[in-house]
């Protein structure tokens, strides 16, 4: 029987992986809904529910609080929607509902506006009659057609033709001014091009050395992580436990420190009084002793009196604040320093608790080369939410070509030997990203600038999140110093594409790979899963315990 080719095996593996990912992603949401308690049921009247389906989310202030359970058509032509709320939300008498869309092409969901706080709440089972429906595609196209028709009618009139003629004249004058400005600044533009050329030459000469240093650093970091993996995990667990207990411990220590200082001052006062009483007692005993016993006891009484005087002197120094011990007892600087350190540790623990961690799995295939790429990612988002750190472990079925040159000197002449090896080692990505709001194109869009190590070489990228967080444009460039098996310098590896979030955990992505190298240029398609802290805790809690 003829064995299957590598391309067929890769295709079977990718298809099976996508099916498995789809099944896992589709089972996560039902599991969550099935474990939630129904808090209330309401009915909402809409004029039009086009695009709204059962199981669609119901949100309040952007937070999912339930889902659509049923949709019915009333005799008057309106739609009656039954919604189930799984969270306790106050629905007031003046509340109303709106059908919204997640992004430009996202699914429909119901947004409930709770209403005035001063009004009484609607009891479960009530009907919300105030609603706003979205405009259907036909209505939108009709409005566009009417607008275009009105514009056409306004332009075909003599007055409209005059406006067009004036507009063309203005464009012509603007073009002439731009041409004149370019002519006046020709030398400046030439100097700018020369500066850019010099900059590119500098980058071309220094980037390989920087990339090699980053590759060496990555290898060393990888070795350290592998050798200390268990210690790192234990340290993270201990740090998380300590961060939760530090605020309580510091507060308790601070209170105890204050009590100890107060009690120490009281003890000093009591010790001085006791010393005085001892001195008086010694004097009385000395007077009561007869001549026969006086000589035997004299030395002992003298020593006791001297010790009492030294103790009294020491206590006076402590009370006045002289000496190291006195400063520790009387000065509240130590207490203030402990309080400051406790506040700093508390802030650090609070930031750690607000940090989000995401774990992802993805895989894609290049349709031109049959090359499969898969990886595991760890993304850490600090509490400020304006940056993140990305660490990935990537495996590529195409491998890498390593070219090593040896120089052998035999005493009279040198020989140059070259070794070419194709490796399939696991590669690592470590990037730092900053997130910026879009000030130009879309109101709720976000730009992301990334840079660092991509697949064990220097690289960077630019991403753009569209409003709604379902669509994302991404681009990455790396391997600026790579060569083929003949030693020829190749263009950098450039990948550009789009990703679409099907739900919270499952996404697909596609685009162009190796866009700067026509031999390997092709279309790629893939899919992936991503889990946040809450998903990991939910999955771990759903797993059966081992006994």
pLDDT, position 546: 45
pLDDT, position 508: 94
> Quick one: 364 and 300 in the same domain?
no
Distance, CA of 377 to CA of 359 (rounded, Å): 6
pLDDT tens digits for range 158-211: 665 667 677 777 888 888 777 777 777 777 777 777 777 777 776 677 667 777
Residue 502 lies in a domain: yes
Where is the domain boundary, 321, 351, 381? 351
> Quick one: 272 and 386 in the same domain?
no
Residue 437 lies in a domain: yes
Residue 23 lies in a domain: no
Q: What is the pTM of this model?
A: 0.38
Cβ-count burial of 407 within 10 angstroms (0-12 exposed, 13-18 middle, 19+ buried)?
exposed
> Quick one: 374 and 480 in the same domain?
yes
Q: What are phi and psi of 520, to 5 degrees?
A: -110, 5
How far is C-alpha 113 from the geometric centre of its chain's CA atoms? Answer: 30
> Quick one: 332 and 366 in the same domain?
no
Residue 9 lies in a domain: no
Distance, CA of 471 to CA of 105 (rounded, Å): 9
**Closest by CA position to 87, among listed 69, 68, 63:** 63
**Closest by CA position to 375, among listed 483, 469, 509, 498:** 509
pLDDT tens digits for range 358-412: 999 999 998 887 888 889 999 999 888 899 999 999 887 666 655 555 556 566 6
> Quick one: 371 and 258 in the same domain?
no
Work out the pLDDT band at 346, boundaries 50, 70, 90: low
> Quick one: 419 and 493 in the same domain?
yes
Residue 104 lies in a domain: yes
Between 524 and 263, the higher pLDDT residue: 524
> Quick one: 436 and 371 in the same domain?
yes
Distance, CA of 207 to CA of 23 (rounded, Å): 44
Residue 48 lies in a domain: yes
**Closest by CA position to 270, among listed 309, 306, 315:** 315
**Closest by CA position to 391, among listed 381, 379, 382:** 379
Residue 15 lies in a domain: no
Where is the domain boundary, 351, 373, 388? 351
Distances (CA, A) of 501 to 59, 111, 465, 508: 19, 20, 11, 7
> Quick one: 292 and 335 in the same domain?
yes
Where is the domain boundary, 351, 368, 384? 351
> Quick one: 345 and 311 in the same domain?
yes
HEC sequence for 495-531: EEEEEEECCCCEEEEEEEECCCCCCCCEEEEEEEEEE
> Quick one: 386 and 501 in the same domain?
yes
Total tally of structural domains belonging to the chain:
4
Do 278 and 304 contact (CB within 8 A), yes or no?
yes
Residue 375: Cβ within 10 Å count? 20
Residue 547 lies in a domain: no
Residue 71's DSSP bridge partners are: 81
Average pLDDT over residues 342-355: 67
pLDDT tens digits for range 223-281: 766 777 776 677 667 666 656 665 665 566 556 556 656 666 665 676 667 667 766 76
Whether pLDDT at 103 is above 80: no
Q: What are phi and psi of 81, to 5 degrees?
A: -110, 130
> Quick one: 169 and 246 in the same domain?
no
**The domain containing residue 495 runs over which residues?**
356-542
Q: Which residues contact 520 (CB under 8 A, 6 or more apart)?
A: 366, 368, 369, 371, 513, 514
Q: Provide the CATH number for the domain around residue 379.
A: 2.40.160
pLDDT tens digits for range 406-456: 556 566 655 655 555 556 678 889 999 999 998 888 888 999 999 999 988
Distance, CA of 466 to CA of 289 (rounded, Å): 101
Q: Which long-range contacts (CB under 8 A, 24 or more apart) does 65-74 make?
A: 65/89, 65/112, 67/33, 68/110, 69/41, 74/45
> Quick one: 246 and 388 in the same domain?
no
Do 447 and 464 contact (CB within 8 A), yes or no?
yes
């Amino acid at each position: 029987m003829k064995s299957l080719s590598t391309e067929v095996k890769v295709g079977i593996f990718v298809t099976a992986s996508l099916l498995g990912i789809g099944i896992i992603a589709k089972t996560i949401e039902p599991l969550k809904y099935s474990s939630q308690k129904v808090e209330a049921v309401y009915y909402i009247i809409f004029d039009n529910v086009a695009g709204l389906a059962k199981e669609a989310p119901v949100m309040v202030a952007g937070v999912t609080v339930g889902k659509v359970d049923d949709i019915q058509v009333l005799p008057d032509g309106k739609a009656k929607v039954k919604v189930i709320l799984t969270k306790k939300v106050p629905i007031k008498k003046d509340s109303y509902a709106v059908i919204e869309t997640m992004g430009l092409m996202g699914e429909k969901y119901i947004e409930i506006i709770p209403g005035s706080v001063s009004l009484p709440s609607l009891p479960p089972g009530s009907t919300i009659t105030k609603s706003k429906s979205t405009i259907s595609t036909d209505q939108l196209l009709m409005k566009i057609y009417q607008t275009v028709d009105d514009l056409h009618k306004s332009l075909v009139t003599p007055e409209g033709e005059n406006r067009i003629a004036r507009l063309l004249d203005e464009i012509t004058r603007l073009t002439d001014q731009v041409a004149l400005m370019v002519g006046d600044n020709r030398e400046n533009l030439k100097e700018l091009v020369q500066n850019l050329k010099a900059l590119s030459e500098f980058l071309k000469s220094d980037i390989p050395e920087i990339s090699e240093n980053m590759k060496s650093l990555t290898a060393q970091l990888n070795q350290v992580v592998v050798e200390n993996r268990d210690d790192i995990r234990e340290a993270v667990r201990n740090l998380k436990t300590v961060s939760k207990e530090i605020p309580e411990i510091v507060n308790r220590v601070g209170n105890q420190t204050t009590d100890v200082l107060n009690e120490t001052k009281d003890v000093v006062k009591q010790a001085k009084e006791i010393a005085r009483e001892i001195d008086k007692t010694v004097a009385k005993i000395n007077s009561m002793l007869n001549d026969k016993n006086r000589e035997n006891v004299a030395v002992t009484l003298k020593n006791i009196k001297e010790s009492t005087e030294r103790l009294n002197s020491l206590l006076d120094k402590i009370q006045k604040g002289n000496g190291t011990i006195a400063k520790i007892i009387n000065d509240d600087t130590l207490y203030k320093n402990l309080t400051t350190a406790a506040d700093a540790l508390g802030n650090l623990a609070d930031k750690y608790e607000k940090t989000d961690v995401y774990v992802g799995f993805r895989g894609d295939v290049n349709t031109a080369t049959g090359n499969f790429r898969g990886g595991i990612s760890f993304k850490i988002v600090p509490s400020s939410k304006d940056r993140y750190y990305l660490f990935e472990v990537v495996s590529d079925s195409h491998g890498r070509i390593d070219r090593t040159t040896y120089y052998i000197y035999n005493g009279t002449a040198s020989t140059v030997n070259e070794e070419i090896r194709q490796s399939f080692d696991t590669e690592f990505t470590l990037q730092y990203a900053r997130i910026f709001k879009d000030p130009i194109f879309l109101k709720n869009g976000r730009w992301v600038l990334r840079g660092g190590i991509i697949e064990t070489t220097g690289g960077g990228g630019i991403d753009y999140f569209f409003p709604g967080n379902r669509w994302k444009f991404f681009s990455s460039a790396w391997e600026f110093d790579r060569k083929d098996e003949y030693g020829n310098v190749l263009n950098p590896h450039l990948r550009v594409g789009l990703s679409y979030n099907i739900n919270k955990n499952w996404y697909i992505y596609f685009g162009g790979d190796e866009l700067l190298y026509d031999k390997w240029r092709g279309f790629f398609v893939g899919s992936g899963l991503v889990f946040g802290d809450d998903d990991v805790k939910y999955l771990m809690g759903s797993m059966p315990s081992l006994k």
